[in-house]
Amino acid sequence: MNRLLNLVTAGKERLALPILTFPGAQLAGVSVRDMVTLAEAQVAAVTALRERYRMRVLLSAMDLSAEAEAFGCAVHLADNEVPTVLGRRVRTWSEAEVLELPAPGAGRTAVYLETVRRLRRLPDQPVVLGGMIGPFSLAARLFGVSEMLSLTLEDPDLTHLLVTKAATFLAAYAAAFREVGADGVVMAEPTAGLLSPRALGEFSSAYVKRIVAAVDTPDFALILHNCAARLMHLPHVLSAGARVLHFGAPMDLPAALDQVPAGTLVCGNLDPAKVFVQSTPEQVRAATRALRDATDGRPNHVLSSGCDIPPQTPLANLDAFFAAAA
């Protein structure tokens, strides 16, 4: 059985698995820019978090610009902010047709592969998950997010061409994570949650399903993250075939747990901004306990943030989360 799934199903205690990497910069004395450009800085930040919180699962950073940059997009880097994509790489059908696929390890994707390789070599071999973008969200960064949402209605064929290219690269990238020792990858499809349920199924889940078929093994799991999905999207999210789902604050998590198969893990969904960044420690404790109570008796639920926890999150709030989750 996959080591992550075994940790959840065989463990006596509920697993707390927030999407947590960037706040480790505060502990390691590095910048966000360091973390997204240097594997040693990212490893230092993640291991500092692990030592403080006794984390049983380690993640590489959720940087949804690295794959787009490998395709040729311009990216804005800052010392204390997560990178963002600038402008559009593709504007026309002809540009999409000739768009070349990068190799896994191109550009800063090498930083994330090397981070996972180093984390996997830690003495007690913790469970390690890579992080990557999903196919529709990558295509949207190449074409422009608002433009891509319109394109699904105006030119479905071009939409499929872009998502096909994105999915082809991402399948190879996920396989590269598996080869360096990852126990799985967290695949983030935030832009897909902005689609209608039908469009999510057509332009996201159908392609995620191909990636799952290509890389999912007994030892390697694809965790499908969608921070914008709502309960109406759930059947189409399930159609992707991922064994682990991760949802954001918009999802009605207790209702979702009523609908997913018993063997499917569901992670989530404390709001990263409202709870982790903007709340007091006592409010974080209360929100964490409320989520625990709402999902009590659900062995397939994993306590988590609803999305990536921002770099500026107060450490006192993280302390409160882990204390309440224990």
- Residues 75-128 have pLDDT tens digits of 999 999 999 999 999 999 999 999 999 999 999 999 999 999 999 999 888 999
**At 1, is the pLDDT very low, low, confident or very high (cuts 50, 70, 90)?**
low
Task: Name the pLDDT band for 20 (thresholds 50, 70, 90).
Answer: very high
Cβ pair 57, 303 in contact under 8 A: no
The backbone torsions φ and ψ at residue 190, rounded to the nearest 5 degrees and listed phi first, read -65, -40
Instruction: Provide the 10 A C-beta neighbour count for residue 87.
Output: 9
206 contact partners, CB below 8 Å, separation of at least 6:
239, 240
Block residue for tokens 């997009």? 73
Chain mean pLDDT for the chain:
97
CATH class of 3-325: alpha beta
Domain ranges of the chain: 3-325
Q: What percent of the chain has pLDDT over 70?
A: 100
Predicted confidence band of residue 262 (pLDDT cuts 50, 70, 90): confident
Question: How crowded is residue 326: how many other Cβ atoms within 10 Å of its Cβ?
Answer: 11
Q: Per-residue pLDDT averaged across 209-216, rounded?
A: 98
* Backbone φ, ψ for residue 84 (5° rounding): -130, 150
